[in-house]
Amino acid sequence: MQRIGVFVCHCGTNIAATVDVKKVAETLGKEPGVVIAQDYQYMCSESGQNLVKDAIKEHNLTGIVICSCSPRMHENTFRKAAAAAGLNPYLVEIANIREQCSWIHKDIADATEKAVILGRAAIAKVHLNAPLTAGESPVVKKALVIGGGIAGIQTALDIAEAGFDVDIVEKNPTIGGKMAQIDKTFPTLDCAACILTPKMVEASQNERITIRSFSEVTDVKGFVGNFTVTIKKKARYVDETKCTGCGLCTEKCPMKKVPNEFNMGLDNRSAVYIPFAQAVPKVATIDPNYCMMLKTGKCGVCSKVCSAGAINYKQQDELIEEKYGAIIVATGFNPIKLDKYDEFAYGQCPDVVTSLELERLMNAAGPNGGTLLRPSDKSHPHTIVFVQCVGSRCDDSKGKPYCSKICCMYTAKHAMLIREKYPDTEVYVFYIDVRTPGKNFDEFYRRAVEQYNVHYIKGMVGKVTPKSDGKIDVQASDLLANEQLHIDADMVVLAAAIEPDKTARPLATMLTTQMDTNDFFTEAHPKLRPVESATAGIFLSGACQGPKDIPETVAQASAAAAKAIGLLCKNSITCNPCVAHSDELMCNGCSSCEKVCPYGAITYIDKEFRMPDRTTKVRRVASVNPAVCQGCGACTVACPSGAMDLNGFSNSQIMAEVDAICK
């Protein structure tokens, strides 16, 4: 006779507010086989777990049902608790009455009724649970970092420092990411390149780090500790091992009219190019969309001037398959496209620029060699207007609902730098709110206002109109003075919202990780597990998880590295015992299961059976290798004789759940 314990969690008010937990416990207590049903404020807390452990010992329970949050959250917690009390951990079932009940339903009666049904299904299932023993699977002691910005570089350096091999996959020809494009960093105003490029070099020189630049992840298979990743190494038409990065090809290339992505399209580069002087790896790349040789077959100048013989017009994309134990996502962000914002005349007037474009305009390695000049006529701007929150904190579909977090600070930085270098230039900043939480951030902003006399005006810019004399009319409202303003500006700088990189969503699908509605990766727990994804073995680093400034990104990158190192340190991890098994008496050796198994876990063996007439007969039967089987259950459905079944999700268990729900 089964002796089942039911434990209903209030989760504070998360469950208790919409589900009558006392009633759930009381109703489930009357189910057949249930000997104890209790409710408690926080079942996952230590006292909650002790309650479960004590009940297991006291009532000699043969199975427990926890009505709480998703099994993806706390199944392991309760399995461990059960094991500590001497109950096989696989005799625990979770009824998900938070994510799939209390959080989505508003009506208390409905939610309570559903919680009871979900609890009943779990009880029906646990009646049929069998004790299982977990095996072990080895951990591949190597990590993959996807994205080579400051987040990816920091994570890779930390993991390498701990003594593990790391690969960085970067889709661009060089690592460095957005930080490489930035001129100065707030609030210390040190030069971004001066602090970033040594780290890039350190990463390239570390023998444990392999930088796979100009490459993309195209496929991810496997599971924690044992991922198989396919990486596409895109053809750069230059042999990386031969190229010395001398740059002669980029000088001699006749095709010089290619918009330079690194300078945000503000100047041009050649068809064969090195993104910037400190690029890592410092290797040329040929842009096939512009290269005359690749397009028409006539040119070949770069190949003639290259003394190293590195140019190879016949290079093809290459697929590389590698095994990793942990994957860290560091895909970063991009500023949003402003083509929907006609009112700011972006795209119509070259003197209306985004903040990242301004970074390049002010950078010593930028298009103007560090002198701030208007892109249209290369004249010195005397009045500059900054517009905050362009696309951030937006209710409509044009923008993003969230605060991009970094814009207030970098605008203060820009304003300060301009006033410092060109004291005759007037700077206006239009803002909704100025948000400067962070160490030394508010002091920095106040310095911009008080010491550098930047005009901060609370209000929105309504319209930006380019005028025929080259000036730009900025029409805005000053909310505090309650008046309309017209400013004759020479330049307008838009603080565009930031959004996750476009590659993030397809990647999330490959990694089976969660994303929020804005395409930021979702962390396993917003407060307590901020650098792990809900999928084991996948970690999050930097702005792919949410808007972040550089110090926060670096902190999170190191945290993600620490979590990955914790995994890589283990020699093996316990593997899932919920694998398929075949009932040899029922199996007729038809091979249906072998054909559908994606892992090749099923083989056939000849086995001797005693027949009823006391003779023996040798029959061919299926045998599952539990170390290879991943427990998908495809074979269980393919089996025509019903011999195949899956531990933990057996035919009878799922059928019992169906019955309980439909009762």
Residue ranges in contact with another protein by CB under 8 A: 70-72, 96, 98-101, 103-107, 110-111, 113-114, 117-118, 121, 221, 505, 508-510, 512-517, 522, 534-535, 578, 596, 598, 630-634, 636-638, 646, 649, 651, 654-655, 657-659, 661-663
Structure tokens at 362: 């002010």
CB nearer to another protein: pick between 112 and 260: 112
- Cβ proximity to another protein, 286 vs 579, nearer residue: 579
Give residue 78's identity as a one-letter amino acid code: F
Cβ-based nearer residue to another protein, 543 or 646:
646
User: How far from 290 is each of 101, 214, 237, CA to CA, in Å?
Assistant: 56, 17, 13
DSSP label at residue 496 = E
Of 16 and 634, which CB lies nearer to another protein in the complex structure?
634
Q: How far is the CB of 561 from another protein (least distance, A)?
A: 24
Residue 559 C-beta-side C-alpha neighbours within 13 Å: 16
Provide the minimum distance between the beta carbon of 223 and another protein in the complex, in angstroms, as a whole number: 8
| Closest residue by Cα to residue 220 from 230, 235, 232, 234 | 230
| Residue 638 beta carbon to another protein: minimum distance, rounded to whole angstroms | 8
Q: How far is the CB of 108 from another protein (least distance, A)?
A: 11
Minimum gap (Å) between residue 102 Cβ and another protein: 8
| Amino acid, single-letter form, for residue 605 | I
How far apart CA 591 and CA 620 sit, in angstroms, is: 10
231 vs 493 by CB, closer to another protein = 231
The H-assigned helical ranges of 189-286 are 192-205, 248-252
CB 496 within 8 A of CB 338: yes
Neighbour tally for 300: CB within 10 Å: 13
- Min dist CB 573 to another protein, Å, is 17
CB of 89 to another protein, least distance (A): 17
Contact 180, 192 (CB under 8 A): yes
Q: How far is the CB of 218 from another protein (least distance, A)?
A: 11
User: Measured between alpha carbons, how far is 273 from 251 in angstroms, rounded to an integer?
Assistant: 9
Comparison of 116 and 299: residue with beta carbon closer to another protein: 116
Is 477 or 625 the residue whose CB approaches another protein more closely?
625
Residue with tokens 């933990």: 648
For the CB of residue 544, give the shortest distance to another protein in the complex, in Å.
13
Count of C-beta atoms within a 10 Å radius of residue 525: 11
Nearest-approach distance from CB 642 to another protein, in angstroms: 9
Shortest approach of another protein to residue 94 CB, angstroms? 9
Say if CB 386 and CB 357 are below 8 A apart.
Answer: no
SS3 324: strand
Q: In the complex, what is the shortest distance from the CB of residue 114 to another protein, in angstroms, rounded to a whole number?
A: 5
CA dihedral 439, 442, 448, 450 (to 10 degrees): -130
Q: Which is nearer to another protein, 277 or 637 (CB)?
A: 637
Question: Cα–Cα distance between 323 and 407 in angstroms, integer?
Answer: 39
Q: Which is nearer to another protein, 605 or 661 (CB)?
A: 661
Nearer to another protein, 551 or 648 (CB): 648
Nearer to another protein, 270 or 650 (CB): 650
Identity of the residue, 555 or 632, whose beta carbon is nearer to another protein in the bound complex: 632
* Nearest approach, Cβ of residue 135 and another protein (Å): 17
Taking residue 306's Cβ as centre, other Cβ atoms within 10 Å add up to 21
**Rounded to whole angstroms, what are the CA distances from 573 to 91, 181, 290, 523?**
21, 41, 50, 22
Q: Considering the complex, what minimum distance in angstroms separates the CB of residue 16 from another protein?
A: 16
Q: By C-beta, is 71 or 173 nearer to another protein?
A: 71
Cβ 645 to another protein shortest distance, Å:
10
* 8 A C-beta contact, residue 325 and residue 162: no
Across 22-55, b (16+ Cβ under 10 Å) vs e yields: ebbbebbeebeebbbbbbbeebbeeebbebbbeb
Q: Which is nearer to another protein, 479 or 578 (CB)?
A: 578
Residues 6 or more apart whose Cβ sits within 8 Å of residue 95:
65, 66, 67, 68, 115, 118, 119, 121, 122
Question: Are 53 and 83 contacting, i.e. CB atoms less than 8 angstroms apart?
Answer: no
Residue with smaller CB distance to another protein, 203 or 643: 643
Query: Taking the alpha carbons of 312, 317, 323, 324 in that order, is the dihedral positive or negative?
Result: positive
Closest approach of another protein to the CB of residue 576, in Å: 9
Cα–chain-centroid distance for residue 552? 16
Paired sense of beta strands 285-286 and 318-324, if any: unpaired
Task: For residues 286 and 296, give the distance between their C-alpha atoms in angstroms, rounded to a whole number.
Answer: 14
Q: Is the peptide bond before 187 cis (omega within 30 degrees of 0)?
A: yes
What are the strands, taking DSSP E only, across 419-555? 426-431, 455-458, 461-466, 472-478, 483-489, 491-496, 498-500, 523-525, 529-533, 538-540
* DSSP notation for 25-52: HHHHTTSTTEEEEEEES-TTSHHHHHHH
Is the CB of 232 or the CB of 374 nearer to another protein?
232
